[in-house]
């Protein structure tokens, strides 16, 4: 149990308390915010006493946290839930429906579930409801449809939060443990959580291979029991078992799309072998003899192939014959710096020094600071004077050859007509300028295309940030002509961003592949608002690998001198 489970419980308490007009609603809400933005492990901070000193975490909140960390449902939550229809907690998932509106729907229309809400919308019962109307009703319907479509899906960060304790528990018992399935393949959203462990040899009568299904035996049941004890009760994690000699083949099978499995199976058949859920076998008329494949790469070498990375085991990605030269995919170690990061000056949680030190601890050579611009008042955006103050602070911190150099910048809002948020003479003083859309995502396709093209063609736009504006499981991408936008980027020489925040992962792998085809550089950006969020880079690298990107395709895989030369050359070329 950790941060996610604690935050979920506190948010659920805050919601229930507000519906019941319980005075503790704000207490729970403040505590949820505090825990979500904590640096460090919640359990460790509770044991050390640091959690009790955290602002917003009082005695009552600590009691709830203790219950969650012990694997219990908080008593206060059970008490409140008993007074409310369970379906109201599903209704709150509709974007735009806060506790007050959910309570209004409950009290005025007796709506207690998503199904009832959908029916009420289709009967136009929200049209005349105070604070709603026809447009809101349509948006609610669209949100319900989106919830149905994404039911059971987890973002990468959510999946990792679930798997972390599971992997830790298994590693205490088994010599080899690996995440498998969709997580290993690097999908942006996952539905199934799978872990492969090295256990006893699978012998007849204990676990028989039957196609893709394993008949569970005692050894497998024991592993599953460990997993079930470590996972949250509402989420399932499947465990699979392999012996040391078949571990690699089993991992490939579990971590490949159906099309990739089929291609490998055909390749094996052509070579007198068999590849299936149980491993790689040498086939003969009388029996199947298992081939030793302790590592994933052993499967490909046995089949005369260049190993395919898990992120590329997808339909449409061809197998590569052994001996052919293949440029390695980008790795986290290729990244020399991180662009697009925030501090307390705008909506971040840490200072310039703290962010720089965290970047240095991760081996980064440079860290780019890009606070929100002055139009982003909701995020404490910087006006020209405050931006100049930060520039002076960065220059002072860079004196004396620090381990990690701070780069000045800004995340300038792209305004309604595509213009940026500062005069050119202000932007010209900055090392790297990010241009991003933060408002008016709902413009029609023609307007949004013109807006994005204009921003891309601005000589001061070095990188276009989170171009489609999507939020995974939250907001659909903006409608615009991506081809026209990429053409404008190619013309101006600006880079495009792969925003590695797991809520965004924008651009997606399809758009990244299109950008690569056009020769556009991609910035894998942490968009860190706290030191721990620099680890977002790993999410971005996974998506970049799925798109086939190499270090040559990535802007921040360049050294600091190379990055400076690139910015200077593209700005002076206009």
Q: What is the pLDDT of residue 567?
A: 97
- pLDDT, one tens digit per residue, over 395-435 is 999 998 789 999 999 999 999 889 998 999 999 999 999 99
Q: What is the pLDDT of residue 238?
A: 87
Contact 419, 409 (CB under 8 A): no
| DSSP three-state, residue 183 | helix
- pLDDT greater than 70 at residue 234: no
DSSP 499-550: E--TTT-BS-HHHHHHHHHTT--EEEE--BSSGGGGGGHHHHHHHHHHTT--
Contact 362, 341 (CB under 8 A): no
Q: Rounded to whole angstroms, how far apart are CA atoms 65 and 356?
A: 32
Q: What is the pLDDT of residue 206?
A: 34
538 compared with 76, residue with greater pLDDT? 538
- pLDDT greater than 80 at residue 214: no
pLDDT confidence tier of residue 309, bands split at 50, 70 and 90: very high
- Hey, how many other C-beta atoms are within 10 angstroms of the C-beta on 86? 10
481 compared with 59, residue with greater pLDDT? 481
Say whether domain 332-572 belongs to CATH 3.40.30.10.
no
Residue range 59-84: mean pLDDT, rounded: 86
Residue range 299-326: mean pLDDT, rounded: 96
pLDDT confidence tier of residue 190, bands split at 50, 70 and 90: very high
Q: What is the pLDDT of residue 570?
A: 92
- pLDDT, one tens digit per residue, over 565-574 is 999 999 987 6
pLDDT confidence tier of residue 201, bands split at 50, 70 and 90: very low
Tokens 């498998």 locate to: 180
- pLDDT greater than 90 at residue 229: no
Q: Rounded to whole angstroms, how far apart are CA atoms 39 and 27?
A: 20
Residue 434: which of 406, 413, 416 has the closest Cα?
413
Give phi and psi for 460, each to the nearest 5.
-90, -5
pTM exceeding the 0.85 threshold for the entire prediction: no
Residue range 548-559: mean pLDDT, rounded: 98
Element (H, E) at 433: strand 432-436
- pLDDT, one tens digit per residue, over 459-475 is 999 999 999 999 888 78
Q: What is the pLDDT of residue 218?
A: 59
- What tokens does 364 get? 């980064």
- pLDDT greater than 70 at residue 316: yes
- pLDDT, one tens digit per residue, over 237-272 is 888 889 999 999 999 999 999 999 999 999 999 999
Give the chain's mean pLDDT.
Answer: 89
Do 154-312 and 332-572 have matching folds? Answer: no
Would you tell me which CATH number, out of the four given (2.60.40.790, 3.40.50.720, 3.30.460.10, 3.40.630.10), belongs to the domain 154-312?
Answer: 3.30.460.10
Region label for 440, one of left (φ > 0), alpha (ψ between -120 and 50) or beta (otherwise): left
Contact 506, 533 (CB under 8 A): no
Handedness of CA 107, 109, 114, 117 (dihedral sign): negative
- pLDDT greater than 90 at residue 373: yes
pLDDT confidence tier of residue 150, bands split at 50, 70 and 90: confident
Domain boundaries, the chain: 3-149, 154-312, 332-572
Q: What is the pLDDT of residue 207?
A: 35
Q: Rounded to whole angstroms, how far apart are CA atoms 432 and 407?
A: 7
215 compared with 339, residue with greater pLDDT? 339
Q: Rounded to whole angstroms, how far apart are CA atoms 14 and 10?
A: 6
């Amino acid at each position: 149990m950790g941060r996610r489970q604690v935050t979920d419980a506190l948010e659920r308490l805050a919601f229930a308390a507000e519906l019941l007009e319980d005075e503790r609603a704000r207490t729970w809400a403040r505590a949820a915010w505090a825990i979500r933005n904590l640096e460090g492990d919640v359990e460790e901070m509770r044991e050390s006493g640091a959690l009790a000193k955290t602002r917003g975490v009082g005695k009552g909140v600590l009691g709830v946290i203790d219950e969650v960390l012990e694997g219990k449902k908080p008593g206060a939550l059970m008490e409140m839930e008993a007074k409310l229809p369970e379906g109201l907690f599903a209704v709150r998932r509709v974007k735009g429906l806060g506790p007050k509106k959910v309570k209004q729907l409950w009290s005025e229309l007796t709506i207690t579930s998503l199904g009832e809400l959908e029916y009420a919308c289709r009967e136009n019962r929200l049209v005349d409801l105070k604070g709603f109307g026809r447009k809101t009703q349509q948006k609610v319907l669209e949100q319900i449809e989106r919830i149905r479509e994404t039911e059971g899906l987890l973002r990468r960060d959510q999946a990792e939060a679930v798997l972390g304790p599971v992997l830790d528990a298994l590693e205490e018992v088994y010599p080899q443990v690996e995440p498998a399935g969709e997580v290993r393949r690097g999908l942006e959203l996952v539905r199934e959580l799978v872990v492969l462990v090295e256990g006893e040899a699978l012998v007849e009568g204990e676990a028989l291979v039957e196609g893709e299904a394993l008949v569970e035996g005692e050894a497998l049941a024991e592993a599953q029991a460990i997993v079930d004890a470590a996972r949250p009760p509402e989420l399932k994690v499947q465990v699979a078992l392999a012996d040391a000699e078949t571990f690699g083949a089993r991992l490939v099978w579990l971590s490949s799309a159906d099309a990739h499995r089929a291609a490998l199976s055909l390749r094996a058949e052509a070579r007198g072998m068999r590849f299936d859920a149980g491993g790689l076998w040498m086939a003969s008329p009388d029996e199947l003899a298992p081939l030793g494949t302790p590592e994933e790469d052993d499967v490909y070498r046995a089949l005369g192939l260049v190993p395919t990375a898990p992120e590329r085991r997808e339909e449409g990605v061809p197998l590569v014959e052994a001996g052919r030269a293949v440029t390695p995919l980008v790795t986290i170690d290729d990244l020399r710096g991180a662009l697009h990061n925030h501090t307390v000056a705008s909506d971040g949680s840490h200072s310039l020094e703290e962010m720089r030190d965290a970047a240095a601890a991760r081996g980064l050579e440079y860290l780019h600071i890009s606070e929100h611009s002055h139009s982003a008042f909701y995020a404490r955006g910087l006006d020209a004077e405050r931006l100049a103050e930060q520039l002076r602070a960065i220059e002072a911190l860079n004196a004396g050859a620090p381990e990690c150099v701070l780069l000045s910048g800004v995340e300038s809002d792209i305004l309604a007509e595509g213009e940026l948020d500062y005069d050119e003479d202000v932007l010209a003083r900055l090392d790297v300028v990010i241009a991003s859309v933060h408002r008016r995502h709902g413009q029609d396709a023609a307007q949004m295309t013109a807006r994005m093209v204009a921003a891309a063609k601005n000589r001061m736009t070095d990188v276009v940030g989170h171009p489609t504006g999507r939020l995974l499981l939250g907001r659909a991408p903006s409608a615009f002509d991506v081809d026209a936008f990429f053409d404008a980027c190619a013309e101006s020489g600006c880079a495009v961003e792969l925003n590695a925040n797991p809520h965004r992962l924008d651009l997606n792998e399809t758009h990244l592949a299109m950008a690569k085809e056009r020769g556009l550089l991609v910035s894998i950006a942490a968009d860190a608002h706290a030191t721990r969020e620099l680890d977002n880079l790993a999410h971005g690298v996974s998506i970049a690998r799925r798109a086939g990107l190499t270090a040559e395709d990535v802007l921040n895989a360049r050294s600091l001198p190379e990055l400076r030369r690139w910015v200077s050359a593209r700005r002076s070329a206009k």
